[in-house]
Amino acid sequence: MLRVSGHSERTDVGRQRQANEDSYLARSPLFVVADGMGGAQAGEVASLTAIQAFQGGMPDGNPEVAIERMIATANRNIHEQAHSDPSLAGMGTTITVAAVDSEAERVVIGHVGDSRAYRLRDGIIQRLTKDHSLVEEMRRRGQITEEQAEDHPQRSIITRALGPEPEVQADLQSVDADPGDIFLLCSDGLTTMIGDDRIREILMGATSLDAAARTLVDEANRAGGRDNITVIVFQVEDPSNPIPRGEQPTMVRSGASARAARHQAGPGRGPRRGRVVAGILAALAVLLILAGGLFFATRQAWFLGTDPAGRVALYQGLPYELPFGIDLYRLKYSSAVQTDSLPEQRQRAVTDHTLRSEDDATSLIEDIESSEGLTG
Ligand code: CA
């Protein structure tokens, strides 16, 4: 079994638009984001009409079939309205729907257009929907790169929407859900302003789902807020093992590991404090390992280089400098051979700073010296 442990949603006009044409619905376990488009108020009408088709909540029966039907209904309602009212002609909207299927421990997702769904699990964010947009199609055909797609001037042109046609093809899928997973639905006003990595960071760092939703919108505005921004975040839990309320959402580990961890938690120690102490200890351990590794490496590693006089030289340590002029290497020996007098291949062995054992490095420098007729 699985259920929604909490959700938070937020919509914002952004910094540059006069009106908010996005609409959303949160009727847990059903969540919908719609991003309308059209002249005058038509975009608002389209997105609002779309979500109205979901207002009754999830009906019984197969959730995938139900979502597909509700999307078809939304499309038909918008299409008919656009035809009966000239001021609404040509209006359309995206739609992204997510419904938690408790029994099957899955989330059913339906979408049309470029509003997206994401899942954050164990620190990894995954985009669950494929944009129905011109730019995404060009990217999939290999005509443009991922980077070019990100700031393509035509990235807001969508190739599928609710409203323009009497019938619409929605993408439907079921994704598995583990306790602790966080899902995000959003309009493109978020994703054209901030990248997936940043979205992940915000979700990971947020102290609550409310804080996550708020920060996502704030960051999109800070990045320019060129479009309306709508976000819905929700988290799922195992009803027999609920997520402690007031806990930072991403501190909750998913699935079996979370259950195991909770069973092991000792008495008389608050989970948060225990976790902080564990965190500090883990950080100290990592630092010790790093420092130890660095010390070991600076003793064990050798490399050839060129000394300040341009001669082939033997160094102990790592070929790096830390800030504040701290070198991780020491000059152990300078030969009489000028690096730039060596044949090209030999020069490379001296300048590429390959790490070697002491024996290797010593024999290489001896080899160089003997080939230059300096020693025998
Ligand atoms: Ca938009």
Q: How confident is the model over 2-17, as pLDDT tens digits?
A: 999 999 999 999 999 9
Give CA angle at 309 (306, 310), nearest 5°.
Answer: 40
Lowest mean pLDDT among 80-94, 175-189, 218-232, 266-280: 266-280
Q: If you measure from the C-alpha of residue 214 to the centroid of ligand 1, how many angstroms do you get, rounded to a whole number?
A: 18
266 pLDDT more than 90: no
Q: If you measure from the C-alpha of residue 67 to the centroid of ligand 1, how many angstroms do you get, rounded to a whole number?
A: 22
Domains of the chain from N-terminus onward = 3-252 (3.60.40.10), 298-371 (no CATH)
Q: If you measure from the C-alpha of residue 228 to the centroid of ligand 1, how many angstroms do you get, rounded to a whole number?
A: 6
- CA pair distance 248, 252, nearest whole angstrom: 7
Q: If you measure from the C-alpha of residue 227 to the centroid of ligand 1, how many angstroms do you get, rounded to a whole number?
A: 6
pLDDT at residue number 297: 75
265 pLDDT more than 60: no
Q: 326 vs 189, which has greater pLDDT?
A: 189
**b/e per residue, 24-60, with b = 16+ CB within 10 A?**
bbbeebbbbbbbbbbeeebbbbbbbbbbbbbeeebee
Q: If you measure from the C-alpha of residue 196 to the centroid of ligand 1, how many angstroms do you get, rounded to a whole number?
A: 17
Q: What is the mean pLDDT of residues 256-274?
A: 49
Q: If you measure from the C-alpha of residue 31 to the centroid of ligand 1, how many angstroms do you get, rounded to a whole number?
A: 18
Q: What is the mean pLDDT of residues 146-157?
A: 82
Intra-chain end-to-end CA distance of the chain, in Å:
78
Q: If you measure from the C-alpha of residue 318 to the centroid of ligand 1, how many angstroms do you get, rounded to a whole number?
A: 51
Q: If you measure from the C-alpha of residue 281 to the centroid of ligand 1, how many angstroms do you get, rounded to a whole number?
A: 45
Q: If you measure from the C-alpha of residue 57 to the centroid of ligand 1, how many angstroms do you get, rounded to a whole number?
A: 25
Q: What is the mean pLDDT of residues 74-101?
A: 96
Q: If you measure from the C-alpha of residue 181 to the centroid of ligand 1, how many angstroms do you get, rounded to a whole number?
A: 26
Q: If you measure from the C-alpha of residue 230 to the centroid of ligand 1, how many angstroms do you get, rounded to a whole number?
A: 9
1 pLDDT more than 60: yes
212 pLDDT more than 60: yes
Q: If you measure from the C-alpha of residue 191 to the centroid of ligand 1, how many angstroms do you get, rounded to a whole number?
A: 10
Q: If you measure from the C-alpha of residue 114 to the centroid of ligand 1, how many angstroms do you get, rounded to a whole number?
A: 8
Q: If you measure from the C-alpha of residue 374 to the centroid of ligand 1, how many angstroms do you get, rounded to a whole number?
A: 73
Q: If you measure from the C-alpha of residue 270 to the centroid of ligand 1, how many angstroms do you get, rounded to a whole number?
A: 44
Q: If you measure from the C-alpha of residue 188 to the centroid of ligand 1, how many angstroms do you get, rounded to a whole number?
A: 5
Q: If you measure from the C-alpha of residue 349 to the centroid of ligand 1, how many angstroms do you get, rounded to a whole number?
A: 56
Q: If you measure from the C-alpha of residue 192 to the centroid of ligand 1, how many angstroms do you get, rounded to a whole number?
A: 9
Q: What is the mean pLDDT of residues 91-107?
A: 96
Q: What is the mean pLDDT of residues 117-133?
A: 96
